[in-house]
Amino acid sequence: MRQLNDLSTPAVVIDLDVLERNVARMAERARQHGVRLRPHAKTHKIVAIGRLQTAAGAVGLSVAKTSEAEVFADAGFDDLFVAFPVVGQDKGRRLVRLAERVRLAVGTDSVEGARTLAEPFAQAGRVLDVMLKVDVGYHRVGVEPDRAPAVAGQIAELRGLRLRGIFTHAGHAYAQETPEAVAAVASHEGKALALVAEGLRAAGLPIEQVSVGSTPTARHAMTVNGVTECRPGNYVFHDASQVALGSCRLEDCAMTVLATVVSVPAPGRAVVDAGSKTLSSDALRPHAGGHGRILGRLSRIDKLSEEHGVIAVQPGESFRVGERVRILPNHACVVTNLHDRLWGVRGEAVEDELPVAARGRVE
Amino acid sequence: MRQLNDLSTPAVVIDLDVLERNVARMAERARQHGVRLRPHAKTHKIVAIGRLQTAAGAVGLSVAKTSEAEVFADAGFDDLFVAFPVVGQDKGRRLVRLAERVRLAVGTDSVEGARTLAEPFAQAGRVLDVMLKVDVGYHRVGVEPDRAPAVAGQIAELRGLRLRGIFTHAGHAYAQETPEAVAAVASHEGKALALVAEGLRAAGLPIEQVSVGSTPTARHAMTVNGVTECRPGNYVFHDASQVALGSCRLEDCAMTVLATVVSVPAPGRAVVDAGSKTLSSDALRPHAGGHGRILGRLSRIDKLSEEHGVIAVQPGESFRVGERVRILPNHACVVTNLHDRLWGVRGEAVEDELPVAARGRVE
């Protein structure tokens, strides 16, 4: 069997034991709290890992884009949620074809946007399930809770659509300084969304699903009464930001980047062959702090250009040209999207090549 | 013919008139100053654009990685320089096979690194041309000028290698506050490297090529006596950072990202379907300032997550759901690497689909 040392660098390596433990734990947690688990596939974009998740009990997958849904539908997944406010008749027509072969729902946060999907579905004599996005504090997309009844009411009246439920993403959890603050965001996320659901039901709108998202908030938000579904993504791999946020321990991180030291040009500086084209430029959260931890060392990647990762060598440490290191990235999801394949390993043995089937699907 | 409006968003659009003008201008500039032009293909990673460059007079291409060289060799390019300190016998063996079919040179900045390439070449009874990287102030990789003679001398003695020349990259040009400061960096780049070349020749090392890099410094560094080759990359597309640095005008930017406004959730905020998965997280240089200019507007992309670009809507401007905008990215090279294809347009007409053949080649 191929060994880690046989891989050409840089290479993105997934510890399969850790991956499988992460998948099982989140599934067990969802079961305990009686919520449906619909993991966000954006983190892995890999068919085999999606199958691990459904085998462990996930009801289906969340994806971000229409084109990602197409990839997973082609691979046989039959229950998909596009957790993004999709807008455009061109996308609507693609979704009509998709809805012919899978159970489908799509996010929306405006009547104008919903109408661009309703029209192709109405023309085709079909009905698309939509989920209304509610903003519970991240202030990215989503309607404010007090506008939800009016918008939901108008969307529910559009021919070609059926309002299945509501959803949120508490992305501001990633800016919190302490695990307690993350828990508070999560608790508010679940309670605010459950309250919106009650209001909509009181207004006569049947709300089947009340869906929360994100790995840092999942464990907390899924305990809130009224929450029916949870959509964490990052938990399959975790990363340096999740460690910093207190979402996991270092040993729960499944993804590392294997790199070679290619230059030690001056005291205090060493350079690896993994730059932003491998690790991405995404900052560490909640506080910026380099571009990747080096396993077993105190030194970290301090600067990145596309093909170079510059290590600030800490006193007492040293690196030599040709040496291989493993780097824990700041943000696993964006690393996946930069690579055609990840390598599944157990210890030193390379067990699987994992094609990133939905990589680069932006539409 | 397909029109811009027919493209699904987000889509990366290349204005072919601007591209062709950029290619012609840099080629003409190199001719005027009597230097060889070896453009860095990292910006486009596209076979058709590499062919435009060689048709305009480029002697060959620069690439960053062994795997990129393989892609361009497969496409028929016969003179390639891997402008990176490649390290590793696995890479060395791939380079042996590559050198059988193209004129090849590879960067190095250490005897230890060079040895990992020399061994497979010596075993194969072949010789690899190497270029010694010299650090003229960027402080990333490269030997300090005063160490160059000693390192070059040792590398030149390794069986399996031939020292073709020396090269540098003045990446610190991107941190300069004014066009005058960029010009000063460029002038120093050229002069310092030419001086190193003289020293090496005086020590009995034949130095054929003295090669400088980067789009901001190219026009200046290529005028320096003793410089024989120039390797700008970004100039084919340019981007918002090149405009900010004074390397080009706004109308010289060939790459824009076509995106759809998918949400206008609150006053002062609009969101497009292009996030860091489309635009990258790379900051504007020399000073951070948003994640993309919106053509024809004062408002810019203020925050990014993977699939969302959040516009801070300026007073007096407004955006509506479904509207399409064109975004000038901060850094064109990394945008290319995120996409399987770019779209070549003239005006509103979509003329070409340009497959990004060397996308994601990290090894």
Q: What is the pLDDT of residues A196-211, one digit of tens each?
A: 999 999 999 999 999 9
Whole-number mean pLDDT of chain B? 97
Q: Is A363 an 8 Å CB contact of chain B? A: yes
pLDDT band at A88 (very low <50, low <70, confident <90, very high): very high
Give the mean model confidence (pLDDT) for residues B289-315.
Answer: 97
- Given CATH 3.20.20.10, say whether it is the number of domain A16-237: yes
Above pLDDT 90, what percent of chain B? Answer: 99
Sign of the Cα pseudo-torsion (A184, A186, A187, A193, in order): positive
B-contacting residues in A 10-29 (Cβ below 8 Å): 10-11
Question: Is the pTM above the cut of 0.95?
Answer: yes
pLDDT of residue B12: 98
Is residue A310 within 8 A of residue A325, CB to CB? The reply is no
Is A84 in contact with B273 (Cβ distance < 8 A)?
yes
Give contacts of A91 with chain B, Cβ < 8 Å: 8
Give the whole-angstrom CA distance, residue B208 versus residue A42. Answer: 49
pLDDT in tens, B85-94: 999 999 999 9
B3 touches chain A (CB under 8 A): no
Question: What pLDDT, in 10s, does the model give residues B2-33?
Answer: 999 999 999 999 999 999 999 999 999 999 99
Q: Cite the residue boundaries of each domain of chain B with CATH code 2.40.37.20.
A: 4-10+249-355
Determine contact, residues B257/B272, Cβ cutoff 8 Å. Answer: no
> Are the Cβ atoms of B306 and A334 closer than 8 angstroms?
yes
- For A219-244, the pLDDT digits (tens) are 999 999 999 999 999 999 999 999 99
- Asked whether A210 and A166 are in contact (CB, 8 A), the reply is yes
User: Is residue A140 less than 8 Å (CB to CB) from chain B?
Assistant: yes
Place of tokens 């810019």: B300
Q: Residue A210's closest CA among A114, A50, A221, A42?
A: A221
- Chain A residues close to B339, C-beta within 8 Å: 360, 362
Residues 279-308 of A with CB under 8 A from B: 280-283, 303, 305-308
Superfamily of domain B4-10+249-355: D-serine dehydratase-like domain (2.40.37.20)
pLDDT tens, position by position, B233-262: 999 999 999 999 999 999 999 999 999 999
Q: What is the DSSP letter of B174?
A: G
Query: For A328-344, what is the mean pLDDT?
Result: 98
The DSSP annotation for A332-360 comes to HHHHHTT-SEEEEEETTEEEEEEE-TTTT
Q: What is the pLDDT, as a whole number, of residue A62?
A: 98
pLDDT at A97: 98
- Whether residue A322 and residue B9 make contact (CB cut-off 8 A), yes or no, is no
A33 and B CB contact within 8 Å = no
CA nearest A134 in B: which residue? B265
pLDDT at A57: 97
Q: How far is A56 from chain B (nearest CA, A)?
A: 27
Structure confidence at residue A149 (pLDDT): 98
With b meaning 16 or more CB within 10 Å and e meaning fewer, what string describes A276-314? bbbbbbbbbbbeeebbbbbeebebbbebbbbbbbbbebe
- Start-end of CATH 3.20.20.10 domains in chain A: 16-237
State the pLDDT at residue A213: 87
Token pair 């005008």 is found at: B249
Neighbouring CB atoms inside 10 A of A1's CB total 8
Confidence grade of residue B213 (pLDDT, cut at 50, 70, 90): confident
Angle formed by the axes of helices B89-99 and B66-74, to 10°? 20
**What is the pLDDT averaged over residues A18-26?**
98
Query: Nearest-CA distance from A55 to chain B in Å?
Result: 27
User: From the CA of A10, how many Å to the nearest CA of chain B?
Assistant: 6
Beta bridge partners of A294: A327
A85 at B interface, C-beta within 8 A: yes
The interface predicted TM-score of the complex, written ipTM, equals 0.97
Chain B residue closest in CA terms to A94: B8
- Indicate the CATH number of B16-236 among 3.90.1300.10, 1.10.486.10, 3.20.20.10, 3.40.190.10: 3.20.20.10
Residue in chain A closest to B278 (alpha carbons) equals A362
Mean pLDDT of A34-46: 98
CA B339: distance to chain centroid? 16
CB within 8 Å: A263 and B42: no
Length reported for chain A: 363
